[in-house]
A = this chain, B = another copy of it.
């Protein structure tokens, strides 16, 4: 018996998110089935991040236990032969049998939220960006983002369905850049509440459009009330880029 860790990239467009659920096909389910075909075992992976419906990943992480004689490093290749085009296993390797992707003391997650900012929509980017036709002031967005960096109670940036002990999290860094007609919001932190990055994006979009002053973000944080922040930005703009365990 060995424990194998995989790094997974996927286009979330056609999936009901990561986690298995009765109403539609999920990434977790497709990976379980492919592993089952590969090993002949009844495998259930454990994922690091349960991304929402329509959200993408370049580096989600999962583990599973197997008796298979296939070397851990070769599993990525073998698995990709059994996966649809929109799910790719980027890497596979053996980890200690008690290594768990959600319970590690040192974790840094990096997300990117992309906005397509132009007068007309670009159909080639519709599944990977949120569309904003109004001019955006990215200097103001950067000013606003600075209030979010550090350890804060992010209760205002968390949708109600969350049931967590504490809403305190640390955001290490928020970078905002233009790349052609796109604006990229890159957020790094030790953990994120439900919909937190999408609510941050929705709030920063309001700042960029001039609906909120940058200082408003400080008030929103202090209010600790979800209703104070901007709307949850749509899922297709979000990518879980990387999970770093400080190894």
B-binding residues in A (CB < 8 A): 9-11, 56, 58, 80, 85-88, 90-91, 120-124, 126, 128, 239
Contact = CB atoms under 8 A, between A and B. Distances in A.
Contact of A86 (B11, B91, B126): B126
11 contacts: A9-B121, A9-B122, A9-B124, A11-B124, A56-B124, A88-B120, A88-B121, A88-B122, A90-B120, A91-B120, A124-B239
Contact of A123 (B87, B123, B126): B87
A124 B9 CA distance: 8
B11 A85 contact: no
A111 to B, nearest CB: 14
Contacts of A85: 123, 126
Interface of A is mostly: mixed
A220 to B, nearest CB: 31
A126 B90 contact: no
Contact of A128 (B58, B87, B88, B124): B124
Contacts of A58: 122, 124
Given A56-B123, A85-B123, A85-B126, 17 more contacts: A9-B120, A9-B122, A9-B123, A9-B124, A11-B123, A11-B124, A11-B126, A56-B124, A58-B122, A58-B124, A86-B126, A88-B121, A88-B122, A88-B123, A90-B120, A91-B120, A124-B239
Contacts of A87: 123
A120 B9 CA distance: 10
Nearest 7 A/B pairs, CB to CB: A11-B123, A86-B123, A90-B120, A88-B123, A88-B121, A9-B123, A11-B124
Contacts of A80: 121
A218 to B, nearest CB: 34
A86 B13 CA distance: 14
A11 B124 CA distance: 5
A86 B123 CA distance: 5
Contacts of A88: 120-123
A196 to B, nearest CB: 22
Nearest to A239: B124
Nearest to A120: B90
Nearest to A119: B90
A199 B111 CA distance: 38
A64 B86 CA distance: 38
